[in-house]
Structure 1
Amino acid sequence: MANAKEVRLYGMTRSGYCLMVHHALRLKGVPYDYVEEDLKNKSQELLRLNPVHKKVPVLVVDGRPVAESLVILQYIDELWGSLAPRLLPEDPHRRAKVRFWADFVYQKVVPLTYVIPKAEGDSKAAAVAEFRAQLVAMEAGVGEELWVDGAGPFINGDAPGLLDLLVGSCHTGIKFLEGVADVQLLDKEETPLLCSIMEAFLQLDVVKETTDFLQQHNPLSKLREAPLALLLLPSLAEPPRDRGFQPPEPPPLSSAEGCRIADADQEGVSLANQDLFCNHF
């Protein structure tokens, strides 16, 4: 399958989840076609390929579809395992740790991005504090369990792996969210390791090429209504699965526990109604 004849990604340029898949394919050097989906007017092809969730991203390899970004990223690494870089480590224990922290991003960090843009006063301050606390927890865990001094700028070493890809893909979007919500989410003194990974990731040629590619395919680019940062934060779109989803209440953290955000199943952003932050991730 490493010599797949047809690789096609169905996605949305404003979806950070889809961005992660773009990055993975380009890091591996896998040629692919891209189909931009309008999730307010879903194509019959998308509904056929992903009949359960009916959302993006969907990666189709020789006619066989795979949905959900975290699943897709691991599928890419397994399918093109002979191509560098490997996104997941060979060692089973280290691989399990990478998967644990990847899941942590989806379960503990993501839900708070629903809260921050809409919260006010003490509720916003509490949500921001909890967001930063989760990053600090991840910083400590990754630093203790996965980081190897002198191995390279990434958790994966000289080249980015799965966790580097997840963390790096969200940097610009987080900075954009900071500006919109007038808060500070990233602090180099609190999380120097994560911040250094983000900065190293953004310097990669494939990341810059992907950003340019998506800007060209962004249906709103001509209207100058969609900041480039929208491409880099999964939360800047409507929530996955259920259009009736209600964001969790601001912290305490227990309010966000159990909120499993299922993936890049992104709906469109209603910029015309200035409803950018009605729902997130």
Structure 2
Amino acid sequence: MPELPEVETVRRGLAPVMEGRRIESVEARRPDLRFPFPERFAERLAGRTVTSLGRRAKYLLADLDDDEVLVMHLGMSGSFRVELPDAAIAPGAFHHPRSKAATHDHVRFAFAGGASITYNDPRRFGFMTLLPRANLEAHPLFRHVGVEPLGNALDGALLLKLFADRKTSLKAALLDQRLIAGLGNIYVCEALNRSRLSPTRAAGTLKPSQAEALAGAIRATLEDAIAAGGSTLRDFAHADGALGYFQHAFRAYDREHEPCATPGCRGVIRRIVQTGRSTFFCPECQK
């Protein structure tokens, strides 16, 4: 599943095309994705102007001029393709390639000025819905979503508070979307390696200095990934969105049996399985 940096990269790629633009028409080529589209979906969007494009956790939020929000989730395999009058781009930089097969093009948005955006999703685990802006935070999709990891609120003190007395593993706690929003398997492995913390230790055992180091590592890992993915957007003519650059700089994820990248460490990256997911870490320096 695309993680927060990929979703943020997609947001930054779509924003110049969507923000301030009027939606001329919407073509939904099937009645549903993971869930059915809301009633009169295409009709309600036609003629509306996108006032801003934001992100909450792994959701893209397109605010409309009628005080509704188009909520979009990429699911496991979703992606967007932008078609401009003189070019086609696919915003986003993913560790795994995105589909380009037209048979999986499910929704097409046509904008004033000639640009269009097509949503492609082979597995159809993504979804789109329309919600009133005034009730957004109270909606079941967002009611229990945790703090944004790139926001000012995330620091060592907050992590200590969130993890207090928790016996679950540190990795499981970081993946709990009710605590911290948008963190996924890849970047949790990376942040734990940077902060030299074991994914298997109990979350409630963190010391203040360790919690502060972890908060900084989370922020740095996400910012590096966003910067790397975002670099594919600097030249629309050559951006195909198939792969980003940050995967070439992974310290731990998908590097089983390779040397640990931590300076001075002679350990080797190991892979274990936690709650059905692969965890990559260095048992030598991550304690």
TM range (shorter): under 0.3
Write 1 or 2 for the structure with the bigger share of helix: 1
Higher Rg: 2
Greater relative contact order (Cα < 8 A, sep 6+): 1
Under a length normalisation based on structure 2, what TM-score does the superposition of the two structures give?
0.27
Write 1 or 2 for the structure with the bigger share of strand: 2
